[in-house]
Amino acid sequence: MADNDPTPRTPEDIRKSRNRVLALSLAAFVILVFFISIAKMS
């Protein structure tokens, strides 16, 4: 998949985009846990 990129990506670019995805996933997980708690109480 990464090989399909039109321009070669530097390790820094790859690390940045991976960390951004990880941060978004963790934020989504926290929000999900919040809503699960609400749903379990209702």
Partner 1 sequence: MSVTSPSSAQQLPADWRDLFALTKPRVMSLVIFTGLCGLLAAPERIHPVLAFTAILCIAMGAGGAAALNQWWEADLDAGMKRTANRPLPQGRLDRTTARDFGGVLCAASVFLMGFAISWLAAAILALSIAYYAVVYTMWLKPRTPQNIVIGGGAGAFPPLIGWVAATGHITLMPVVLFAIIFMWTPPHFWALALFVKSDYAKVGIPMMPVVAGEKSTRRQILAYAVLLLPLSVVPWWIGGTHGVYGISAIVLSTLFLALSVRVGLREKDGPEDTMKPEKQLFAYSVIYLFALFAALVVDRFVVI
* 25: amino acid identity, one letter: S
- One DSSP character per residue, the chain reads -GGG-SSPPPHHHHHHHHHHHHHHHHHHHHHHHHHHHHHHH-
Give me the least distance between CB of 13 and partner 1, in Å please. 9
Measured CA to CA, the distance from residue 30 to residue 8 in angstroms comes to 34
Give me the least distance between CB of 7 and partner 1, in Å please. 14
Q: Does 27 bind partner 1 (CB under 8 A)?
A: no
Q: Does 15 bind partner 1 (CB under 8 A)?
A: yes
Contact residues toward partner 1 (CB under 8 A) are 1-3, 9, 11, 14-15, 17-18, 21-22, 32, 35-36, 38-40, 42
